[in-house]
Structure 1
Amino acid sequence: MKLFNYLYYNLGHGYINTFRGLSKEVWWLALVTLINRAGTMVIPFLSPYLTTNLEFSLDDVAWIMTAFGLGSIAGSWIGGKLTDMIGYYKVMIFSLLLSGLLFIGFQFLNTFTSICIGIFILMTVADMFRPAMFVALSAYSKHENKTRSVTLIRLAINLGFSAGPAIGGLIITTMSYGGLFWVDGITCMIAAIVLLNVLHPKKVKILDMEINPNPKSAYKDKPFLIFFFAMVIFGVVFLQFLSTLPYFYKEGVGLSEFEIGLLMALNGILIFVFEMPLIKWLEQKGYTKVGLMIFGLLLTTVSYLFLMYNTLIVLIVVSMIIVTFGEMIVFPFSNAFSLKRSKRGLQGEYMALYSIAFSISHVFAHNLGFQMIDSLGFDNTWILMVILGCIGLVLLILLKKFMKSNSEAQ
């Protein structure tokens, strides 16, 4: 009984306290994101689906994933523009409803050209949601709660992601890949329905109405551009998690689809348990956002060194744990950095550029990863990821020094 009381008051109660102070609108946005993300179980299994079911070569898959990234760039840019023009609410509704229909239709494409075009259109529509959601998150959050609000959204994303691959693996095993596309589409439309009912502009309370009367262009903000390129590199390194790593787990390690789903679910479970307390603890320590991003990228980079020992399953699991903690640190604080910086100009433009950084990563990450694996093997691919991670670290260190010399908040 004493042990139970200790765990409740010192761990459970403390964990619950990390969520206090967040607005109900942020909680509703997190629920919408959870529903939407729980359905995106197709993405981690996209490369196995293309190689196993449709029998495409690795070279074909690399170019299909490039179309994936180009669609993401287009969607982020259009979403940012539309958010500044017509508002985040309308953009989010449109994106969720139409991407739901497109997910269902995607399963009927089976030629290389049709899949490239289809994935480009699908990602264009789906990723319009991201800059709109970030601006909505900023509007629904007090200044002091923005990083934790971002973390709650990420918690919802990863909770959905932890359930999605595990369920996806079961669907593939018992039914087929086609069932995944139906689930993806339906959950997107359910998320839109929830959004319509709980976050209609007439029902919500705006907590941050700060607007710069003389907005500056994000494309002329030098520190933000250094940050942008660092995030592109981080994205290239991290996004192997969505494409080449599942392929590596299957072909390089010999795991089944269900085992891959469980391993990737570990990522979401760790984030669910540790991210919010970790972020609150790091905020209380007073570390700078840029300094924390440097540490997070360092962890992400180091994780690839463990993949070279693919005969030891325990090291594969350790690699997943390390990259997860790197992700936990980089994403919330990079997002918070962007939200704060966006007050200098049009928020949609800043948050679109932040999203585009990862969209560009999609263009290069998957193609580069598969091309490297095909020509040089797994180990050399992981070495290249380590080198790229070090370049990203140099950029973030330069950003930290640049902001310090100009007496800007980091």
Structure 2
Amino acid sequence: MQIITTAATGLLFIGFGAVHNFWVLCALCTGASLFAEAFRPANYAAIATYAAEGTITRANALNRLATNIGFGIGSSLGGILAAFNYQWLFWGEGASYLLGSALIIALLPKAAPFKYSSQSTTATVKQASVFTDTIFIRFLGIATVYTTCFFLLFRLVPVYWKEQWNMNESTIGILMGLNGIVVAGFELALVRYFEKRKPNTSMYIAAGVALTAVGYLLLILPVSFPLISGGACVLLITAGEMLAMPFIGSFVLQRAKEHNIGKYSGAYALSGRSPVSPALRSARSS
């Protein structure tokens, strides 16, 4: 699934550069979104498949680290390529997806498919499905609320800073970059520290959500020094992200059974929308 989705997404992005018809563009956007998002459940399942026993939370944090680094590099390169030629932007985006597909083939060993034992029955599998797991469904609803609030940091907060706090674009860019720098520098070590302390997953998730709430509350307080207040807001929300996100992911993987981990991962993927692809974001901003 990871190989197919990355390859298909890459080919569709290459096609963007040659499209001038609005309806064809809509079809390409739909297809690219479908395949790009279909990668995520398979990627979550791969974490559980390849991670050593007892390291799922750290493996999830490491995967997030790779995602943040890639997102930061992709955003920067996307802007540079767009400044020269938009054709290069979509060719670069498509090539990166195709390279990712090739690297999965070359570097990841093939995982053995799950085989039902002789004791497995249709009733047993049905009882372990996502929709009959009421605890997971409740958890998924809470996770959806949290991720919706969290991603406002990247979508609405910069607009608020510009229109209400009169920040310029360069300052906003620095504050947004602070999130990625802190996550890349500290999340893996932080998760490893808490994981060694026999973690109470619910407690860490709750602490992360609380820090995120405090960070947003700073936005409604009287502001004398916008840069300091904005930096404190980003740091608190980022600290909340580093506590909540890895343990939310590990809860999902630990809740699933071997034969339905893809379904659990797919349900979790629905709870949060990943940031827009660098190519689409650069195109939209123009």
TM-score range, shorter chain: 0.7 to 0.9
Q: Distance in 1 between matches of 2:97 and 2:260?
A: 28
Q: Distance in 2 between matches of 1:328 and 1:261?
A: 20
Segment drifting more, 142-151 vs 109-118: 109-118
2:212–2:237 Cα contact (<8 Å) kept: yes
> What is the one-letter code of the residue matched to 2:140?
F
Query: Which residue does the alignment assign to 2:279?
Result: none
Query: Which residue does the alignment assign to 1:337?
Result: 251
Query: Which residue does the alignment assign to 1:373?
Result: none
Query: Which residue does the alignment assign to 2:151?
Result: 239
Instruction: Sort the Cα spacing of 1:166 and 1:211 in 2 relative to 1 into closer, same or farther, 3 A.
Output: farther
Deviations 1:246-303 (A, max 9, x none): 44455554433x6554433322211111111100111223331111111111112222
**Among candidates 207, 225, 230, match of residue 137 of structure 2:** 225
3-state DSSP of counterpart to 1:287: coil
**Among candidates 183, 198, 201, match of residue 271 of structure 1:** 183
Instruction: Sort the Cα spacing of 1:255 and 1:102 in 2 relative to 1 into closer, same or farther, 3 A.
Output: farther
Q: Distance in 1 between matches of 2:182 and 2:251?
A: 23
> What is the one-letter code of the residue matched to 1:338?
V
Query: Which residue does the alignment assign to 1:351?
Result: 265
Q: Distance in 2 between matches of 1:94 and 1:223?
A: 32
1:102–1:185 Cα contact (<8 Å) kept: yes
1:100–1:184 Cα contact (<8 Å) kept: yes
**Among candidates 165, 184, 187, match of residue 96 of structure 2:** 187
Give, in angstroms, the shift of residue 227 of structure 1.
Answer: 0.4
Determine if the alignment matches structure 1 residue 280 to structure 2 residue 203.
Answer: no
Give, in angstroms, the shift of residue 150 of structure 1.
Answer: 0.8
Query: Which residue does the alignment assign to 1:96?
Result: 6
Q: Distance in 2 between matches of 1:247 and 1:177?
A: 25
3-state DSSP of counterpart to 1:144: coil
> What is the one-letter code of the residue matched to 2:72?
S
> What is the one-letter code of the residue matched to 2:192?
K
Give, in angstroms, the shift of residue 115 of structure 1.
Answer: 5.3
> What is the one-letter code of the residue matched to 1:275?
E
Q: Distance in 1 between matches of 2:76 and 2:144?
A: 29
Instruction: Sort the Cα spacing of 1:116 and 1:329 in 2 relative to 1 into closer, same or farther, 3 A.
Output: farther
Q: Distance in 1 between matches of 2:24 and 2:161?
A: 28
Stretches of structure 1 that go unaligned for 5 or more consecutive residues are: 1-90, 363-410
> What is the one-letter code of the residue matched to 1:356?
L
1:162–1:267 Cα contact (<8 Å) kept: no
> What is the one-letter code of the residue matched to 2:40?
R
Segment drifting more, 276-285 vs 106-115: 106-115
Deviations 1:103-157 (A, max 9, x none): 2333566787665544332111111111111111111122311111111111111
> What is the one-letter code of the residue matched to 2:270?
I
Q: Distance in 2 between matches of 1:129 and 1:270?
A: 26
> What is the one-letter code of the residue matched to 1:156?
A
3-state DSSP of counterpart to 2:51: coil
Give, in angstroms, the shift of residue 305 of structure 1.
Answer: 2.2
> What is the one-letter code of the residue matched to 2:213?
T
Q: Distance in 2 between matches of 1:275 and 1:291?
A: 17
Instruction: Sort the Cα spacing of 1:239 and 1:118 in 2 relative to 1 into closer, same or farther, 3 A.
Output: farther
Identical-pair percentage = 29
Deviations 1:68-102 (A, max 9, x none): xxxxxxxxxxxxxxxxxxxxxxx101110111122
**Among candidates 288, 292, 297, match of residue 204 of structure 2:** 292
Query: Which residue does the alignment assign to 1:51?
Result: none
Q: Distance in 1 between matches of 2:2 and 2:224?
A: 41
Stretches of structure 2 that go unaligned for 5 or more consecutive residues are: 276-286
3-state DSSP of counterpart to 1:270: helix
Query: Which residue does the alignment assign to 2:235?
Result: 321
Query: Which residue does the alignment assign to 2:280?
Result: none
Give, in angstroms, the shift of residue 306 of structure 1.
Answer: 2.6
Q: Distance in 2 between matches of 1:227 and 1:217?
A: 15
Q: Distance in 1 between matches of 2:31 and 2:80?
A: 28
Instruction: Sort the Cα spacing of 1:154 and 1:211 in 2 relative to 1 into closer, same or farther, 3 A.
Output: farther
Give, in angstroms, the shift of residue 357 of structure 1.
Answer: 1.5
Q: How does 1:99-114 map to 2 (within 5 A)?
A: 99-106=9-16
TM, length-normalised to structure 1: 0.58
Query: Which residue does the alignment assign to 2:284?
Result: none
Q: How does 1:3-402 map to 2 (within 5 A)?
A: 91-106=1-16, 116-172=26-82, 174-175=83-84, 179-201=88-110, 213=120, 214-215=124-125, 216-248=128-160, 251-252=163-164, 253-256=166-169, 260-308=172-220, 309=223, 312-343=226-257, 346-359=260-273
Q: Distance in 2 between matches of 1:348 and 1:319?
A: 35
2:114–2:258 Cα contact (<8 Å) kept: no
Deviations 1:168-192 (A, max 9, x none): 44445x4366644333222111111
Instruction: Sort the Cα spacing of 1:266 and 1:170 in 2 relative to 1 into closer, same or farther, 3 A.
Output: farther
Query: Which residue does the alignment assign to 1:5?
Result: none
> What is the one-letter code of the residue matched to 1:301?
A
Q: Distance in 1 between matches of 2:93 and 2:224?
A: 32
